[in-house]
Structure 1
Amino acid sequence: MINPIVVAAADAADKNPLLPETYDIVWSAVVFAILLIAFWKVFLPKLQKMLDERAAAIEGNIAKADEAQAKAEAALQEYTAQLAGARQEAGEIRDAARNDATKIVAKAKDDATAEAARIAQTAQTQIEAERQSAVVSLRKEVGSLAIDLASGVVGEQLTDDAKASAMVDRFLAELEASEKAAN
């Protein structure tokens, strides 16, 4: 039994322990070549196809995102333009409302002025009518008082209405003339 151990030890002394046997190198190279060919022909194309599909999907999503962003920017610009238009329209409406309010106030002032003038004219007419009525009433009163007074002074009864009326009118005319001369 010692003999095979010694023979193995002697063989081992001749060989480098770091180098494998030739059959190990050959079979390892064959298995490596088979795996390399299988990887190169089967696994690598499938992996490349999967990576290409993934890259295409990512690029498609990026393109969609860019398109969505462009649409969003266009919508924002359109919204901004509509908002500016709405603001301008609101300003125009406010200006028109102010102009209308100014016109309404001016018309109301004109109407109030016209109504005040009409009321003043009506009052003036009414005052003039009342003054005329008062003058006529006063003439009658003064006339009857003057006739009574003249009757008392003369001592006769003045019964002739036409004559009495003419005398009263003449008396009042002289009274008005003296009043105007005093002013």
Structure 2
Amino acid sequence: MGPLEPNAAELVLGLIVFFFIFGILGAVLLPRIERVLAQRSDAIEGGLERAEAQQAEAQRVLEQYRAEIAAARQEAAAIRQTAVEQGAAHLAEVRAQGQAQRDELVAQAQVQLAADKVIAEAALREDVVRVAVELAGRIVGEPLGELPRTREIAEEFFAEPVNS
């Protein structure tokens, strides 16, 4: 009896033990292995589904964030535009006020200059008349200031147009 010719009793006993162990493994161990594999498969598939759901949620949040950023930029642009318009209006108003004040100051200065010119002209005429009468009195040799017509002669002289 060699390896090619097995003993029938040993062969039968070996087959019985093999099928017994196979039955125990199939009945006890195989369901546990299938359960563990199913759990792992579920965990992997569930993890993928959760990851896809989280990725979709993240994409939705990103789109919402981008929309809010775009809205905020538009609002900021509108605020800037409003500020520019208000600034331009305020600047125009201030310029108009400044122009009105300048015009008022120029008008007051012109009135003051005209009044000062009249006052200076009158004072200058008095001084010229006095000096002319005094000089004429020295030339003639007699005081001419007391003559009644001296003032009228000086006024007639100043009333004549000046020829250039």
TM-score, length of structure 2 as denominator length: 0.79
Residue 83 of structure 2: aligned partner: 97
Q: Report the identity percentage.
A: 29
Greater mean alpha carbon deviation, residues 69-78 or residues 151-160: 151-160
> Matches of 1:54 and 1:136 in 2, distance apart?
119
**2:120 counterpart residue number:** 134
Describe the SS at the equivalent of 2:21.
helix
CA distance in 1, matches of 2:16, 2:157: 164
Mind listing any 5+ residue stretches in structure 1 that lack a counterpart? 1-11
- Any residues of structure 2 matched to 1:1-183 within 5 Å, and which? 17-145=3-131, 147-148=133-134, 159=146, 165-173=151-159, 175=160, 178-179=161-162, 182=163
Q: 1:12-52 CA deviation, whole Å, 9 max, x = no partner?
A: 5xxx7502111011101111121121122111111111111
User: Secondary structure of 1:18's partner?
Assistant: coil
Amino acid at match of 1:19: E
CA distance in 1, matches of 2:34, 2:82: 70
Change (3 A) 1:17 1:62: closer
Query: What TM-score, normalized to structure 1?
Result: 0.72
Report the CA distance shift for 1:31/1:156 in structure 2 as closer, same or farther (over 3 A): closer
* Cα deviation, residue 80, structure 1: 0.7
Which range moves more in the overlay, 109-118 or 44-53?
A: 109-118
Q: Secondary structure at the match of 2:87?
A: helix
Change (3 A) 1:90 1:17: closer
1: CA distance, partners of 2:119 / 2:111: 12
Checking the alignment, whether the CA contact within 8 Å between 2:129 and 2:154 is kept in structure 1 is yes
Gap regions ≥5 residues in structure 2: none
Higher Cα Rg: structure 1 or 2? 1
Equivalent residues, number: 163
AA aligned to 1:125 is V
More helix by share: 1
Q: What per-residue deviation string (whole Å, max 9, x for no partner) do you get for residues 107-127 of structure 1? A: 343333333322322221221
